[in-house]
Structure 1
Amino acid sequence: MVRSAIALLALSTALAADIKPFNPADIRGLDPSYLDKYTPVDGYITCLDGSKRIPVSAINDDYCDCPDGSDEPGTSACEGVGEGWFYCKNEGHIPGRVRRSRVNDGICDPECCDGSDEWQTGVCQDRCEAIGREHRQKAEAELKTRKTGAKLRGTYINWAVKERRRLEEELSKKREEVKTKEIEVDHTRAQLEKTEARSKEDLEKRKQSALYTHLLSQKLALTRLRSKTSRLQGELDTLHNLLSELSKGYNPNGQDMAVKAAVVGYEEFLKGDEPTTPAEGEDAPSVPDIEEEITDRELDEIDRKDLDGLLLSEMIGEDDDEEEGGILYRIDEYIPDALYDQWESVRDFAIDWMIRIGFLGRGSKAAAKSASEGPHVAAAREKHNKANGELNKLRTDITNAEETLRKMEKDYGPEAEWKKLDGTCIDTVAGDYTYELCLFGKATQKSNRDSSSNHLGTFTEWKTDEAPGTYEYYTRQYYRNGSRCWNGPMRSVTVDWSCGTTNAIQSVAEPEKCEYFFKATTPALCWPVEETSVKDEL
C-alpha cells in the first residue's frame, strides 16, 4: 500500500515536470502589446471586451469562444470578428501583421517574412534574415542621404537667417528714409505751389498789357469773321446752284424779262471770272500782283495759337539762352529752406535784369514743351514728381520686404529653409518634352522637337490638409492655373517632395489629362535625424 502511494507520487511529479508553465509570450499571433491582458488568473483569462472568462486551454483551439475573437489570435476561427490581426515576430527584420483571415490560406504574405502566418500548412520559409539585411542596407543608405541632406539644409537655414537679418535691417533703414523723403515731398510740394502761384500772378499781370488785349481782340474778331465768311460762302453756293439750274432750263423766247435779266447777268458774271485771251499781235495785259489768299489751315493754326503760352514764352529766355537762365533755376536744389524766399526774389530780379540788357531773350524750350507753365514751374513740378516717385518706390520696397518676412515665418518652412530655393529652376527630360519647375514660380513643358511650350501652372499652395509647420505639410506643392488643354481642363502640376542631396525632378507622370505629377528631391526636406529613431529603424 505504501509502495503504491510512493509510486503514484513519483509518477505525478514526473508528469508535472514535463508540463511547461503557461506563458502569454508563447501565444501564437499575439501582439506583444497585449501580453498583460493574457496573464491567467486561476487558469483563466478574460476576453478583451470583458464579456466572459475562458480557460487558457481555449486559446488558439480553432474555436471562437470570445465574442470579440480575442481568444483566437493565431487562427482564422474568428474571421470577421473584432480587430482580427495576426502578429508576425519576423526575427531579424521588422515585425508585421496580417488579417487573421489570411492565416493558413496557403499564400506567403510579405508582411510575415518568417512564414509564421502559414504555421499549419508549412508552405512558407523564413526569409527574414536576408530581407532584414537588405532593408538595413537600404536604411543605412537613406540615413546617409538624410545626414548629408541635413547638412545642406543647414546651409539653407544659415542663409535664411542672414537674409532675414538683412531684410529687417533694410526695413529699418527704408522706414527712416521714408520719413526723410516725406519731408522732402512736402517741401517740394510747397515750392511747387508757391512757384505756380507766382507764375500765375505774373501771367495775370501780363494779361493786362495792351499787347495781350489787342491780340485777344484780334483773335476774337478773326473767329467771328471766319464764322461770317463761312455763312456767306454757304449762301453764295446756294445762289450759284439756283442760277445755274435756272440758266440751263429757262426759255430765252419767254416773256419773263426778270428771269431773262437774271440769267444774262449770271452769265456775264461767269464770263468775268474767266481769264481773257489777248488778240493776235497784242501783248497780254499786265496783271497786278495779288497777295496770295490765306488758307484754312493757316487760319486754323492762328485760331489754335495759345496766347497764354506766348506770354509764358515771353517771360523766359530764348532757346539759345536757356542754359544761362536755367542755371539760376537749377541752383534752387541747393538753397536751404530758410533762405529760399530771399533767393527766389534775387533769382527773379537777376533774370529780369538780364532780359532787359539783352543777355537773355524771351523764348524757351520749356515753353514749347508746356504751353501752360513756364520752365521754373516745370522744374519745380519735376522735382516734386521725382521726390514723390522715390517715396512711392520706398513704400513698395517696404511692402515687398514685409511680405517676404511674413512668408519666411510659414511659407518657406519652419526655419525658412525653402527661401534659398525661391526662384531656383530644375528640369528633366521625359519623352519628347523637357519639364521645368521654378520653385515658388511656374512649371513649364517644353517640346524637344520645336520651340513650342506649355504653361503648366503657377505655385498656389502647400499640402493644406496637413498642419503648417509639420514635416508632411512641406512634402507636396500645387502649381495650378496653367494654360488650358485642348478640349480639356487647365493644366496643373502636383509635386511630391522627399529628402535628397540634390534639388532634382526624379520622375514625371500624367495620370489624368493635363494633370501632371512630379516626384522630386531636395535637401530642404532633410530634417535633422534623431538617433533613437535611427536605432529603431536599423
Structure 2
Amino acid sequence: MLWWPLHVTWLSRALALTPGISPAEETRYKGTHFVCVEGSATLPASAVNDDFCDCEDGSDEPGTAACAGATDRWFYCPNSGGTARYIYISRVGDGICDCCDGSDEWLRPDSGCRDVCKEQGRARKVRLEQRRAEMQKGILMREAALESMRAEVEEWRKTVAELDANAAPLSKEMLELEEVQRQKRAAVIKEAEQLGREADLVGQGAEKKVSEYAKWMEGGGSGNTAEQAEQVCSGSVCIQRTAVSRKELRQIKVTSGALVDFMEFVYATGSLVVGEGKGDQQEPFNLEPGEVLLELRGGQGGLLDRVQFVTSRGRESKAYGGAGGQNFSFKASEGKMIVGVTRAVGLAGKLTGIQECLFRPLTDAEKAFDEASSILEDARRQLAAKHKETAELREKIEAAAGAHAAYRALNKCGETQIGEYSYKICPFGEATQGHVRLGKWKGWASDASHTALFEGGERCFSGIVRTLRVQFECGEGYVIESVREPSQCVYEATMTHPAACDAQVLTQGDRVLTPHEAHLEL
C-alpha cells in the first residue's frame, strides 16, 4: 500500500475531487466502498488510488499509473483557469508536468510543477482573438463547400436515376448481340466442317464475357487466356506461349520512358492493352498489308525494360524503353504469328507470355464472327463503365451525407517543414515525412471528433509499422502545425483545415480535451 504524506493531498482537498476523476464521475468514488466499473469486485474506499491495481479495468487507480496497462483509462486534469483535459494514465507521476495545474504529479511534491493554467488561459484567449477572423473565414469556407456539395449531390442523384433507367434496355441489347455472336460462331464451325478442319475459335467461345485484358487482370496479370500454353525460355527469361483466336494485327502502340509502361495491340476489330505506368506515348509501329509479327525482342529483370518488334518481312521497330534487363528473343511457333502479350501486374510489369494464332488470312465467316465479338465486347465494356460510374456516384452520395462531408468538398493536402523534416498530409490519401510514408488513409477515429487515422506506413528498423493520428483544428488554410512521436514510429500531428470549422468551433474552449487533442491556439 502507498501511504500518502499530508503535503501531497493539498490539490485533492482543494479541488474536493478524487485525483484523476472528472466531476461527472465523482459520485462513483464516494462512500465507504468502491465497485469496479466492470463489476468484477467491490473494494474498500481506501483501495482507490493506493498505487495497486485491484480492478481488471483499472478503474480503482484513476490517479496513479498502477493500471497503465488499461489502455482505455485516462487521467483527468481539472486545469482551473485553463482548459480541462485528459492525459494518458501512464504519464501520471513520471516527473513531467503534463497538466497545466500540475495535478498529474500530485504524488511527487518534488516534481517542481506549478499551476500555470491561468497564464496559459490568458495566452490562449489572446491567440484566440488573433485567430478569430481566420476561423470565421474557415467557417464560411466550410458552409460554402457544403452548400456546393448539396447541389452536386442533387446532380449525382439525377445521373444515377438516368443510369438505372438505361440499365434495362442496355441489358436487352446485350442479349441481342450475344445471339448475333452465337450465330456467327455457328457459321464458322459449319464452314470449318465443310473444309474438313477444326474451327479456329480458341478463346472466342459464346461464353466469352470479358476482354482479354480483363481476364489478364482477374488472373493477377500472368494468367493464360486459353488452355493451350507452353513455357519457353530465352536465356534467363522464361514466359508462357499461348494459343488464342485469329486476329488481324494492324498496329502496336507503346507508352514508355526508361521502362515500358503500356503496350496496345490494335486489330482490325478491337484492341488489347496491357501494362501500367505514366510513360510517354511513342510513335506507333504500323504493320503493312499482309505483314505479321513473328518475333519479340527486348530486355527485362523484375520489370520490362525494353521491347522491339520484328515482322515477317524482316522489318524491325525501334527499341522502346531503356537499356537495362536481361536480353530476350521470342519467335512465333511454326505456322503461327504473335498477336499479343501478357504481363505481370504493376508499374512496367515484366513480360509473362506471348499470344499467337494461325498464320493465314481470315475467311469471311471468321471476319464476321470477329466483328460480332468485337461489337459485343465494346458494348459490354460500355455497360461495365456505366455500372462503375453508378457505383462511384452512390459512394459519393453516401460520403456527402456523413459527418465529415466537408472534408470531401475541401480535399486538399497540408505541407510544412519542421526542423530537418518536410511533412505532407493528404486526407483520404497518404501522409509522408520526406520520402518516408507515415501511413495510408484508414478512416476517422471513433474516440475524438475531426481526428483521422493513417496506418500501414513504412517499417522502422525495429520492425514496427509507422502510424499517424491527425487532429484537425479550425483554420482558413491547410497548415500542419505540429508533428510529434510520442512512442517509436507512432506519430501524432495537428493540422488546420476549414472542414473542421463547424458552427460551435469558437465555443469549444470549455470542452474537455482527450489525450490526442491539443488546442493550436496555445
TM bucket (normalised to shorter chain) is 0.3 to 0.5
TM, length-normalised to structure 1: 0.42
By percentage of residues, which structure has more strand? Answer: 2
For the pair shown, the structure with the greater C-alpha radius of gyration is 1
TM, length-normalised to structure 2: 0.43
